[in-house]
Amino acid sequence: MKKSLRISVLALAAAATVALIPAPAQALGSAFSCEAITYQSIQTQLKIGTVDTSASPAVLTYANLGDVHAEGFNAGGYNTVDNFIYALTAAPVNLIKIASDGSYESVGSLSGADSSHNYLAGDVSTDGLSLITFDYTDPDKSVWSIDLVTAVGTQIGTLASAPSPVDFGDFAIVTAGGTTTAYGFDTTTGALVSFDPTQNPISVSVNSSVAIAPGSPKGAVWTDSSGNLTTFANTTGDVYGIDNPSSASPTVGKVASGTPAAGNDGMKCALSASAFPAPTAGLADTGMTSEGKVALATLALGLLNAGLVVLLVRRRQSAQH
């Protein structure tokens, strides 16, 4: 009886010891390959995009990549130097490193910047050393450089110099001709917003000739080896291409249809080609509602008819003289 009791006590002690041993950390997988593939974090799931170009317009669909990230993450960017994705979790903010199988590890807790704030837009700098993001909670939209090794944030400046308040869900960094530019799209107007994330004070430009899906957040912005852009409109799931974004009049058009998705963020290797067809020059589908398109068509038809009437009257008057 005493022997049995002793064995039971030892078994309980062993079980308690096992329970106190923490589960092993998730092993980080291998790096991504730099390919013409888009990635999106939608809510708490990282997804890999597939573009069916046989349809017109092309169709964007997804497959899950790895397990659900319970804490969620945003402000992600693809590092073209080491081919890993880096992103920031929800508060309290941690910098994480994501592998090609969706596994991830924590680089460290965010310091220097306020770890209780929200960071919704971001991309990795072209030198592969930092994650550039802005503090969405800060009224001045302060811009930060987060070291990818130490998770220490250094403030670059603010977006307070914008001609009007800007609000965008993501941006992509393009370096061309010795100039570095971050491009995003204003949620309210759809205008193309750009700034140099390496300069302080930060100068913000707004190109209102571009108006993509006004009123819809553009949660994902991708760039390619030509420095062109594509962006995802959350409320419709449509994807728009923007060629020559640094010009006064970029070529803009709808390049794919997808599924609406709130709470998403986009990442892609900027050294690869675009995953989408090129936008078509001319009148672009920029996310106007069907009612708006009908109203615009009706107005155009009315103006055309009015012009024909004026022309006929003038011809008759000329004939009478």
pLDDT, the chain, mean = 83
Per-residue confidence at 217, pLDDT binned at 50, 70, 90? very high
The reported pLDDT for the residue numbered 288 is 45
Tell me if 211 sits within 8 A of 286, measured CB to CB.
yes
Instruction: Look at residue 281 in the predicted model and tell me its pLDDT.
Output: 62
Cα separation, 200 vs 202, whole angstroms: 5
Give alpha helix (H) positions in 143-221.
none
Tracing tokens 């819809």 back to the chain, one arrives at: 216
pLDDT, residue 162, reads 81
pLDDT value, residue 6: 39
Q: What is the full DSSP assignment across 44-73? A: TEEEEEEEETTSSSEEEEEEE-SS--TT-E
Where in the chain are the domains? 25-287, 289-321
pLDDT at 233 exceeding the cut of 70: yes
Query: Over 80: is that where the pLDDT of 243 sits?
Result: yes
**Residue 3 or residue 69, greater confidence:** 69
CA-angle at 55, arms to 232 and 45, nearest 5°: 40
Q: Please say whether the beta carbons of 157 and 140 come within 8 A.
A: no
User: Which range (159-168, 253-262, 297-306) has the least confidence?
Assistant: 297-306
| 175-189 per-residue burial string, b: 16 or more CB within 10 A, e: under 16 | eeeeebbbbbbbbeb
Q: Are strands 58-64 and 45-52 parallel, antiparallel or unpaired?
A: antiparallel
294 vs 133, residue with greater confidence: 133
* Cβ(158)–Cβ(202) below 8 Å: yes
Please give the residue that has the higher pLDDT: either 77 or 306.
77
Element (H, E) at 294: helix 290-320
pLDDT band at 240 (very low <50, low <70, confident <90, very high): very high
Q: pLDDT band for 71, please (50, 70, 90 cuts).
A: confident
Identify which has the larger pLDDT, 114 or 304: 114
What confidence tier does 319 reach under pLDDT thresholds 50, 70, 90?
Answer: low
- Tell me: pLDDT of 101 over 70: yes
41 in Cβ contact with 48 (< 8 Å): no
Q: How many CB atoms lie within 10 A of CB 31?
A: 13
140-180 residue pLDDT tens: 889 999 999 999 999 999 988 787 778 889 999 999 888 99
Whether the Cβ atoms of residue 217 and residue 236 lie closer than 8 Å to each other: no
Between 162 and 212, whose confidence is greater?
Answer: 212
The 10 Å Cβ neighbour count of residue 228 is: 23
What is the per-residue pLDDT for 293?
A: 40
Produce one character per residue of 57-92: b if its CB has 16 or more CB atoms within 10 Å, e if not.
bbbbebeebbeebeebbbbbbbbbeebbbbbbbeee
Chain centre distance of CA 75: 8
| pLDDT at residue 290 greater than cutoff 50 | no
**In CATH, which of 2.120.10, 1.10.3110, 3.30.70, 1.10.3470 is domain 25-287?**
2.120.10
Spatial contact of 203 and 195, defined as CB atoms under 8 Å apart: yes
Rounded distance between C-alpha atoms, residue 90 and residue 53, angstroms: 35
Of all residues in the chain, the percent with pLDDT exceeding 70 is 79
Q: What is the mean pLDDT of residues 184-208?
A: 93
pLDDT, one tens digit per residue, over 1-49 is: 444 433 343 333 333 323 233 333 568 999 999 999 999 999 889 999 9
Adjacent-strand bridge partners of 319: none
Which residues are CB-contacts of 255 (< 8 A; sequence separation ≥ 6)? 57, 58, 230, 239, 240, 241, 276, 277, 278, 279
Q: Are strands 179-185 and 171-176 parallel, antiparallel or unpaired?
A: antiparallel
Q: Determine the pLDDT at residue 280.
A: 84
